[in-house]
Chain A
Amino acid sequence: MSGLKYSKDHEWVRVEGDIGTVGISDYAQDQLGDVVYVELPEVGRTVAQNEEAAVVESVKAASEVYAPVSGEVVEVNQVLEDDPALVNGEPTGAGWFLKLRLSAPGELDGLMDEAAYADYVSGLGDD
């Protein structure tokens, strides 16, 4: 079992077998502020890497969530429909968005590990 891998758009993926669980990073949830609504894709949909897979809305604005890797959506976190604030509270845990069956596992090599992502974020302003 590996750790989290991050995209430059602040999504993370945790891979177990051929299934990747996807969410948004702690930095991303902090930037968004209070999450009030999450729109999840239909199970069975195929998404390409960097394609819009979900929408997350804060009090202020709507933002796209991009698939950090390509695959087929096999499960979505329906709990978020009633409790979107889980994205703020546990962004890399219970606040996950969706699970993908990876179609191109090689894409993982292009993502950042925890240390590289921490470096990347520290180079960004708060806004």
Chain B
Amino acid sequence: MSDDAGTDALARTPLFMEHRALGATLVPFAGYAMPVRYPAGIMAEHTHTRSAAGLFDVSHMGQLRLTGDGAVAALERLVPGDIASLAPWAMRYTQFTNEDGGILDDLLVTRSDDGLILVVNASCKDSDIAHLERRLDAGVDLTVLADRGLVALQGPKAAAVLERHAPGCAWLSFMTAGWFTIGGVDALISRSGYTGEDGFEVSLPANETAAFWRRLIAEPEVEPVGLGARDSLRLEAGLCLYGHDIDETTSPVQAGLAWSIGKRRRQEGGFPGAPRIQHELAEGPRRRRVGILPDGRAPAREGTAILNADGDEIGIVTSGGFGPTAGGPVAMGYVAADAAETGRPVSLLVRGKPRPATIVKLPFVPHNYHRG
């Protein structure tokens, strides 16, 4: 029996053979053959990440470098985040916006010695690269770091484990990064991730990534985790998944990401869609992303209609499923701004039946970041 039926034509990360050796179920994702789960299963992988340390292959994501004197100013013309105020080796979450204030992609930006390092979504990286090439000034150089792998180690034991391999990394605080040496190999380590847990992302040369992965897999606290649990972890943490919770039709303000727009940028604008985003910051958006807690046991999936007490449709679920740590179904979605207050009862139309639910604050599981 083939373990990867239908994935032969897909791109492979440097860890493809590791996934096969671990018995992963491989699926197509953003053009790559990626592990959706390992034999332990999504539930066990999820709870292991919350209680110990989960190891994720995120090598499919785009790693880009911007260099040149104008790199900071050039990127600020494409994102609403405050990049200029980033201290060396500090990181910021921001979005590429379009002229309508919609989101083209969300990304992490790190200030390095000689410029900026960007990590973008796998599904958007080709369009992000084209967007950057079109919009960057002469004198700003874009380098696609296609020859690097990226591995995330997430969970309360992540720091203790990684410290054994990259001494000093445990001193990083949340959203900072630095270069470390792991087994003689230079690795860029950031204290970041997308599970709501403390953890790290480690970027290293593609041909060294598998050896590093095996070192971590050999640690007693570490288990491999696939895309299935990555999704349930970030949903419980209230984090947006591009193409689902955010896209070109949603603005950062609607999505509850206004915290990522610095004060100077709010005042000065100078990014695509600034008039709409500044208007929404001042007047409030027409709809908002909210957490939704179904009352019963039935999960409400993406696309489920959200109804008010009169049975009128007031919104839609954009991510929904079962939260292993929450111990029941959890969802997020958009509702009309006047219906977005915490505690409001709504109903969810699942398989034609309205089922009770409540608007709740995100996240469903508290963040456990290392603020240092």
Q: Which residues of A contact B (CB under 8 A)?
A: 33-34, 36-37, 39, 55, 57-62, 81, 84, 122, 124-127
Contacts and interface: CB of A to CB of B under 8 A. Distances in A.
Nearest to B43: A34
28 contacts: A33-B37, A33-B41, A33-B43, A34-B41, A36-B43, A36-B299, A36-B322, A37-B298, A37-B322, A39-B351, A57-B299, A58-B322, A59-B42, A59-B46, A59-B228, A59-B232, A60-B42, A60-B228, A60-B231, A61-B301, A62-B301, A122-B1, A125-B1, A125-B2, A125-B5, A126-B3, A127-B5, A127-B25
A57 B322 contact: yes
Interface of B: 1-7, 25-27, 36-37, 41-43, 46, 228-229, 231-232, 297-299, 301, 321-322, 324, 329, 351
Nearest to B327: A36
A59 to B, nearest CB: 4
B321 A60 contact: yes
Given A39-B351, A59-B228, A59-B322, A34 B42 contact: yes
Given A34-B43, A37-B329, A127 B299 contact: no
A30 to B, nearest CB: 9
Contacts of A61: 301
Contacts of B36: 60
Nearest to B328: A36
B225 to A, nearest CB: 13
A127 B6 contact: yes
Given A34-B43, A36-B322, A126 B299 contact: no
A60 B298 CA distance: 13
Nearest to A127: B5
A47 B24 CA distance: 37
Closest A-B pairs by Cβ, 8 of them? A125-B5, A34-B43, A36-B322, A59-B42, A59-B322, A125-B2, A37-B297, A127-B5
A62 B321 CA distance: 9
Given A33-B41, A127-B27, A39 B298 contact: yes
Given A33-B41, A58-B322, 18 more contacts: A33-B42, A33-B228, A34-B43, A36-B297, A36-B299, A36-B322, A39-B351, A55-B351, A59-B46, A59-B228, A59-B229, A59-B321, A60-B231, A122-B1, A125-B2, A125-B5, A127-B7, A127-B25
